Amino acid sequence: MEFMRKSTEEIYDIVIIGGGPNGVALAAYLAKCGLSVCVLEERSEAGGACEQTEPIAGVRINPHAAVMYAAAAPGWEQLELWKYGFRMSWEPAWAFTPLIKTVMTTEGAVPFSDKDGLGWAKITGMLGSPTFTKELLRATFWCPPHPPEVEVTAENIPFMQVYKERAPEIWTEELLQMTMFDLMDEYLETEPFKVMQAFASWYSGAAAHYQGMAIPAMGGNIAVTLYGASAPRGGMHDYFHAILRCALAHGAVVRTCCPVEEIIIRNGQAVGVHLRDNAAWGEKTIWADKAVVSAVDVRQTFNKLIGPQHVDRGLLQKVNDISLKGGSIYVSHFLTREPLRLSPKFKDWPHMTGGIYPCDSREIYYDHVADVDGHKGDPTMPAQRVFWMAVPDGRFPSTDPQCTIPNHYLVSPFYVFVPPPEYHVDGPDAINKYKEKWNAYMREAFSQVVENLNSDSLVYHWANTPLESEFRNTGLIGGGYSGARLCKDHMWTNRPLPELSRYCTPIDRLYLGNQSTGHPGGLCLMAIPYNLMHILIEDGIAEPGNWWYPSPWYIPERGKISAIPRK
């Protein structure tokens, strides 16, 4: 190379910017291929959205991810996470699954019908013989988008192939145009059940009202119910630990407190990174011989790390138009002196104080959508109708409690969608200006179902607003969970943009590995690293051993090395 390196500077094969679940799982994959890998994380602890914190002694809260969605990931086998101490905290009784028999509405807990349960099981592949749920999930999330020369059709989209083969009676070209509501109207019966599923899918990323997202939206719901909505032992951060330790055991270096200032680009090629002045690393330049991967959100990647000097204005405009809507969450955490009691009309609700409310009708759902993504102001929904989702501490078994203070009880997280700070008419910090007011609003919303969330019982009400979430965790742009809306314009070959859809950039040797920069988005699935591996094999960067297997629906790009191992 033509530029000069100082002897004190380090050289790795791969430099990965961002130490969240995607960046570090990719490091594990690449280190397992024998490459030297350095991950640079800005925060003092790696893990990204897989984080917990203990704001007061004995209370473990979840500011972001709370339950496991990654059940079907090839990463479990390929990275052998069980070896690195991975254990689950099973709580199969508590779930948004067909096993539950009621749905929470303003009228109380209402039952749903057999047709709902059976219909849901049918479209999610659970009734197949054998079941094809895992196959459907892998097809939906764990396959790189097809290469640009391949025309995407109802015949070759992976999940469509699965339906065609395993449940041809469900397959129809319209599946690609449907919203999840359309799909549910065809197969399910009761409105509250549909609305509960719709809310769950919205909170999982791809919403039930997005055009053409029926199957990915449903996929998010199955991904969480596949584990009975359980969590890893020790919380999502300890799931991350297993991934991190796999990377470390294979020789990857993962450094915290090392924010990156810019990606070094020479002659159109990414060759390393400069660290910011406050980084915990003396020499601020680190070189990458084979590739730089940005596991940072799409806006910062292009606007800051690459910089406008290396990107044409047309592309930059498209990047800045990527929608941050569809998932800005106001997260509350309640610590109380008494166990929260359900008000009498919910006595049939079996799941303590957790769940989804109110699921009466899609009118409430649409009102909430309008409030969050239409009005662009503070919430206008009355607290009595605003939709929420809660996870009580009883959801972890007694051997892995979230709260160990005697006679204290925790609900964390309690989610409510609010407008993304970036689009708020009064500016990004608008909702933070009246945090006390919005906290009271959240408590009132919860109090529609519980009767003793009052000053006598409440010890702490912590909250992270979307704005605070963005500052805590800069990758969570929009204060949401997916970093970019999971609608048809930002999914599959369109995520984040058609020209960037295979995790590549116009800069040679610079790849994208963040949930906002590629299919299938968020949920800590180990999917982006797996999908990106196909591309890195195609480009001759990674050469995995026998442990590797590609997605069965993967199509290699013409003229490149196929990620399908030769027999």
Partner 1 sequence: MELRKRQTPMLTGDIFDEFPDESDWDAIIIGAGPNGLMTGAYLAKAGAKVAVVERRYEVGGGLATEEILFPCYYSNMHAIYHMMVDYMPVMQDFNLDKHALVWIKPNLQTAMVFEDGSSLLLTRMVEDTADSIHKVSHKDAVAFGKLMRTWRRMVSEIVGPATYLPPTPSLDWIVALQRTEVGRELLELNEGSPLEIMTDHFENDRVRALMLYVACMWGLDPRETGIGLFVPLLLERGMNKCYCYGGSHKFAGALAREIVRAEGTILEAAEVTRINMQNGNVAGVELMEGRTLNSKVVISSLDPHTTFFDLVGKESLPTTLKETVENWKYDKWSYYTLHLVAKEKPKYQCDDPWVNESFMTVFGFDSTDQVVAHWNNVMAGKVDGDFGGHSTCESFWDPHLVRMPGGEVSFFQMHAPYDIEGGWEKRNKELEEAILDKWQKAAPNMKRENIIMTSPETPVDIEIRFPNMRRGAIKHGDYTPMQLGYNRPNTECSSSKTPIGGLYLCGASTYPGGMVTGGPGYVAANKVAEDMGLKKWWKPTPAMEKYIKTYME
Specify the residue, 64 or 495, whose C-beta has the smaller distance to partner 1. Answer: 64
Minimum distance from residue 275 beta carbon to partner 1 (Å): 10
Joined together, the tokens standing for residue 437 give 């007011």
Specify the residue, 128 or 148, whose C-beta has the smaller distance to partner 1. Answer: 128
Minimum distance from residue 317 beta carbon to partner 1 (Å): 28
Minimum distance from residue 531 beta carbon to partner 1 (Å): 20
Answer whether 270's CB lies under 8 Å from 506's CB: no
Task: Give residue 184's Cα distance to chain centre.
Answer: 23
Specify the residue, 76 or 423, whose C-beta has the smaller distance to partner 1. Answer: 76
The rounded distance, in Å, linking the Cα atoms of 330 and 64 is: 10
Closest among 419, 414, 404, 407 to 461, alpha carbons compared? 414
Instruction: Give start and end residues of each alpha helix (H) in 168-291.
Output: 180-187, 191-203, 214-225, 236-249
Answer whether 322's CB lies under 8 Å from 512's CB: no
Minimum distance from residue 51 beta carbon to partner 1 (Å): 9
Q: Using the 8-state DSSP alphabet, how is residue 42 labeled?
A: S
Specify the residue, 150 or 459, whose C-beta has the smaller distance to partner 1. Answer: 459
Joined together, the tokens standing for residue 273 give 């990174």
Q: What is the dihedral of CA 189, 194, 196, 197, to 10 degrees?
A: 120
Specify the residue, 118 or 405, whose C-beta has the smaller distance to partner 1. Answer: 405
Specify the residue, 26 or 510, whose C-beta has the smaller distance to partner 1. Answer: 26
Task: Give residue 42's Cα distance to chain centre.
Answer: 19
Specify the residue, 81 or 103, whose C-beta has the smaller distance to partner 1. Answer: 81
Largest CA distance in the chain: 75
- Pairing mode of beta strands 37-40, 253-255: parallel
Peptide bond connecting 428 to the previous residue in cis, omega within 30 degrees of 0: no
Specify the residue, 105 or 464, whose C-beta has the smaller distance to partner 1. Answer: 464
Minimum distance from residue 539 beta carbon to partner 1 (Å): 28
Answer whether 59's CB lies under 8 Å from 403's CB: yes
Specify the residue, 375 or 435, whose C-beta has the smaller distance to partner 1. Answer: 435
CB atoms within 10 A of CB 289: 16
Minimum distance from residue 61 beta carbon to partner 1 (Å): 7
Specify the residue, 365 or 530, whose C-beta has the smaller distance to partner 1. Answer: 530
| Phi, psi (deg, nearest 5) at residue 96 | -95, 50
Closest among 293, 265, 271 to 536, alpha carbons compared? 293
Minimum distance from residue 288 beta carbon to partner 1 (Å): 17
Beta pairing partners, 103: 110
Which residues, 6+ apart, have CB-to-CB distance to 453 below 8 Å?
A: 334, 336, 340, 443, 446, 447
Specify the residue, 224 or 352, whose C-beta has the smaller distance to partner 1. Answer: 224
Burial class (CB in 10 A: 0-12, 13-18, 19+), 455: exposed
Answer whether 483's CB lies under 8 Å from 298's CB: yes
Minimum distance from residue 259 beta carbon to partner 1 (Å): 9
Minimum distance from residue 132 beta carbon to partner 1 (Å): 9
Minimum distance from residue 376 beta carbon to partner 1 (Å): 23
Minimum distance from residue 269 beta carbon to partner 1 (Å): 26
Indicate the SS3 state at residue 530.
helix
